[in-house]
Structure 1
Amino acid sequence: MGDPALSRRGFLAATAAAGLGMTALSGCGSGDGGSSSSGKVTVEWWNISTTQPTKDVWAGLARKFEAQNPHVKLKVVQLENDAYKSKMTALIASGKLPDIFHTWGGGVLKQQVDAGLVEDLTGGTKPWADGMLSVAKQPYLIDQKLYGIPFDIGMIGFWYNKAHFKAAGISEPPTTWSGFLDAVRKLKTAGITPLALAGKESWTGMYYWAYLAMRTAGLDALQKADEDKDFTGTGFVQAGQHLKDLVDLQPFQKGFLGAAYSAPTGQAAAVGNGKAAMELMGQWAPVVEADAGKGLGSDLGFFPFPAVDGGKGAITEVFGGGGGHALRKGAPKEAVDFLKFFASETTDLVLVEKTKTLPVVPGAEKALSDPNTKAVQAQLKAATGFQLYLDQAYAPAVGQQINDSVAGLIAGSKSPEQVTQAITKTAKEEQ
């Protein structure tokens, strides 16, 4: 998310100071959406598909689009999650966005929209976007207008090694937080590392606090805290205490504070290679586990984040989101053509079948074959509530502060109370 000190006021001031002529804005680098000497239109596309097989599948789709549209050259820029967020923060401040760029929607997209940097897709995509799954489009709707087109939808949950659970005497995945902590203890007793975490990337730890806040304070409290700019309520402090109870068990792999997510020695690899029993991650986890490590095959299972005894949330309320694409204001019409191509049933079938994403086009459901992907979709379909990733749902500086403060709690440098105070302080500064 970049510099947490970049407030909403500072963000808008920076964009105003850049003297933006929105319709004349060029993309980044050479992706200016203009015709080159060869008569081709160059469209720059920024995404975060850096792991296999997604990277090659998306490259293949880019070539297919170019073959169908010979006058278009796609300039593809692929970045890791954190690097992407950091670079986008700088680009937003300068007022120069790529023609097509990855978005999770929510408060981050809203801030870009408020600054006049993003194309309104409502009218231009209606004939085909209306047929996409409604829940998948929700994060990209701002004031009833559509500013992004989804290519994925999903949720965060626990991915676990069934063989490790059996070896530790855990017969069923836990459904309560106290039961989860018991499972962690049993795994440790059996000599198995319970959890893998990429401590180097703060967004991975945020998932724990966010879910615990949902389970203790409740979904409505998360929305109200954002509106009131006050995250110091009892439920949020309790969320931090529950996370501290977990951290105190020392459940993570050795060296986790310096571990990345998708690196060969990182979080996904630790699970994929059988060196840790679980990770709390999104629907993409099996693909990354197999890319960074060996993958667990039939030993891999999935279960939802447990309920907290006495909490206001329910186990059927899910936390997550999806991936989408947005366009810079004034992007060439060929960029819209690409969004239509990427959102077609033909493309979605490829994404579901080869990269294990969940379908956003109803007709692509027939490609679902992986039992774990089906399990995630079943949880989503039965969900009684949905919360977008906190570092996307809220203003960028608030989301970054949540990530950083929770990382501090996990590292032992912040108390549960200090986490809520730091988030509240940043939220008030954003007013």
Structure 2
Amino acid sequence: MGDPALSRRGFLAASAAAGLSMTALSACGGDSDGGSSGTTTIEWWNISTTQPTKDVWAGLAKQFEAQNPDVKIKIVQLENDAYKSKMTALTASGKLPDIFHTWGGGVLKQQIDAGLVEDLTDRTKEWADGLLPVAREPYLFDDKAYGIPFDIGMIGFWYNKALFKQAGISTPPTTWSGFLDAVRKLKSAGITPLALAGKEKWPGMYYWAYLAMRTAGIDALQKASDDKDFTGEGLVQAGQHLQDLVDLQPFQKGFLGAAYSSPTGQAATVGNGKAAMELMGQWAPVVEADMGKGLGTNLGFFPFPEVEGGQGALTEVFGGGGGHALRAGAPQAAVDFLKFFASAATDTELVKKTGVLPVVPAAESALTDPNLKAVQTQLKAATGFQLYLDQAYAPAVGQEVNDSVAALIAGSKSPQQVTESITKVAKEEQ
């Protein structure tokens, strides 16, 4: 699996949105339109449902079609949770789309083990070797490439500088106790400290995962997965630290029913100045501006604080990347599209127009946003990287992490019960 230290890293990102009801979708797979036209239709499934990404990606598909008149790209877009549900069903049916969004990790490994994913090693080597190495890691298994990245990134706190100033907070907190103090100051000033999409569970998981990294250390999460035992003291303490935050009632009114990317959801709440912070990936500014007004120069970024006495470091980062994989036996046109999507010209356009971080070194010069530069600085200085838990772990285990942490935040599970529930599912997966 390549460097085992790196393989525990990786990047998730993309415009990770979720929450719309699933729609019935047609079966997938490349085909020919028949007749004398000889046109190949490629289905491209992705999660880029928010603007400007949705239109930019549609425009790129048109560019590719113009360059390849015998190929038609059929785009299918679903929000994050609906996409995961649909892909789980398609994986079980044994038929995946020609090109599909992947975060790598345990979910992709499951699809590979089922023989459903194309080995891209030889078909992409000529150009894929030039991509940022760490961005490729989530898609490498036994030194073989099963996906091509289009994005890298990390999770951190996005905050409203004006609201911090209003509450008398001069600098972002660097310790967990300092963070809790900041939450108290914001509440005292009549400001909602945090926005959370409680309906969707994965945004809440970020808190527990980071607290686990800061308390038990980054290696503890991998060890817990390997040992099928998440009940170690450090992981229980992570839940206790999260409980301390929840007890302060820091989230917006109605957060348990809130989506991430809806007009009243997490991103909009921050983008409209109704909450001071959100814990989210580097796509956050784009979605805040799409769903709300956006904060412009009032928006700032800071890394997840250290936990005093913990085993983790501020430079250990939690995040992921977005990539594309192909179904086994996908036509050459699908490989050609991945090459097009990973070109310097395309990546430069993505960086300029959609706020992603570059995976093609030649596109780095297009990065001008100060907040995204701050994220990239954190990434480049990272001494450790943990892939999103709901992607790094087997799907059932990742889902249980999300569900159990959501239950803790909702007040129906204790920190100890969170670790016991995850352990139970991990053992059942053996």
Do the structures match in fold with TM over 0.5?
Answer: yes
CA distance in 2, matches of 1:254, 1:424: 32
The reply on whether 1:32 has 2:30 as its aligned counterpart is yes
What's the secondary structure of 1:306's corresponding residue? Answer: coil
Give 1:219 shift. Answer: 1.0
Match of 1:49 in 2: 48
Match of 1:100 in 2: 99
* Contact preservation (8 Å) 2:29, 2:96: no
* Contact preservation (8 Å) 1:33, 1:331: no
Matched residue count: 405
What's the secondary structure of 1:301's corresponding residue? Answer: strand
2:163 is aligned with what amino acid? H
Match of 2:216 in 1: 217
Superposition RMSD on alpha carbons, in Å?
Answer: 0.9
CA distance in 1, matches of 2:204, 2:175: 19
CA deviation string 1:41-66 (max 9, x = no partner): 00000000000000000000010000
2:30 is aligned with what amino acid? D
Q: Which runs of 4+ in 1 moved over 4 A?
A: none
CA deviation string 1:365-420 (max 9, x = no partner): 00001000000000000000000000000000000000000000000000000000
CA distance in 2, matches of 1:53, 1:297: 16
**Structure 1 residues 36 and 29, CA gap change in structure 2 (3 angstroms):** farther
TM value normalised by structure 2:
0.93
Match of 1:330 in 2: 329
**Structure 1 residues 89 and 81, CA gap change in structure 2 (3 angstroms):** same
* Contact preservation (8 Å) 1:105, 1:148: yes
CA distance in 2, matches of 1:103, 1:403: 18
CA deviation string 1:176-210 (max 9, x = no partner): 00000000000000000000000010101000000
Give 1:143 shift. Answer: 1.0
Q: How does 1:119-134 map to 2 (within 5 A)?
A: 119-134=118-133
CA deviation string 1:117-152 (max 9, x = no partner): 100001110010000000100111111111000000
Q: How does 1:221-370 map to 2 (within 5 A)?
A: 221-370=220-369
CA distance in 1, matches of 2:161, 2:383: 27
Percent pairwise identity: 82
Q: How does 1:411-426 map to 2 (within 5 A)?
A: 411-426=410-425
CA deviation string 1:330-384 (max 9, x = no partner): 1111000000000000000000000010000000000001000000000000000
Residue ranges of structure 1 left out of the alignment (5+ in a row): 1-26
What's the secondary structure of 1:154's corresponding residue? Answer: coil
Q: How does 1:114-193 map to 2 (within 5 A)?
A: 114-193=113-192
Q: How does 1:11-90 map to 2 (within 5 A)?
A: 29=27, 31-37=29-35, 38-90=37-89
What's the secondary structure of 1:305's corresponding residue? Answer: coil
CA distance in 2, matches of 1:227, 1:36: 49
**Structure 1 residues 224 and 363, CA gap change in structure 2 (3 angstroms):** same
CA distance in 2, matches of 1:356, 1:97: 28
CA distance in 2, matches of 1:218, 1:29: 43
* Contact preservation (8 Å) 1:28, 1:97: no
Match of 1:9 in 2: none
CA distance in 1, matches of 2:349, 2:291: 22
